[in-house]
Structure 1
Amino acid sequence: MGMVISIVEGDVASEQIPALIAAYKSVIESGLPPSIQQSFLVQRSPNHVAIITVWRSREDLQAMIDGGGEPVARRLIREAGGQPQANFHDVLAAG
């Protein structure tokens, strides 16, 4: 199977955004696992953020889910005061 994109999003208080950015950067600086090709922390509005992750395959994503424990993207948004919601999309074509 091909790549999968996960989008974990939630509303957080604007004063929590700097702490979320710092926590996200800390995770990224520690190194992404080989199953993740890229990750982005994005903002749609002053209080709505999302972590978009490009996974190598659906199997890699499922292995992370099956591994137990709270996924990092969910934890980061939850710790910033949000209620994370996750969506997953199979990549049909990429440029």
Structure 2
Amino acid sequence: MSAKEALLNESNKDYALQWCASVIVHDAYHSKKYHDYQTAHGHSPGSHPYPPIYVWAGETIERECLAFQKKVCGEIGAYQTICEYLGKCDGRYCEAPRTW
């Protein structure tokens, strides 16, 4: 993930459009946190220094992103299975080792 773009990897290609939309919303919230910090601290988007990682990533931010993702899923009438899955997420998956 980049603070400037949301990417869906190949594993998402067969998922419901509602799921893909919710993933984009989730990543967009990370980007919002990143850019809000830059704006609040007088940095134009894309400038240095980068915001501290805790501003836009980590368990606390994941929970905020998940809450927004769940809200949007409710608004778009996402499948119940998607809503149930998101309801089980606690934001700690950000601690998992990444291969991307």
What's the TM-score, normalizing by structure 2?
0.30
User: Which protein has greater RCO, CA pairs closer than 8 Å, 6+ apart?
Assistant: 1
The structure richer in strand per residue is 1
The structure richer in helix per residue is 2
What's the TM-score, normalizing by structure 1?
0.31
Q: Select the structure of larger CA radius of gyration.
A: 2
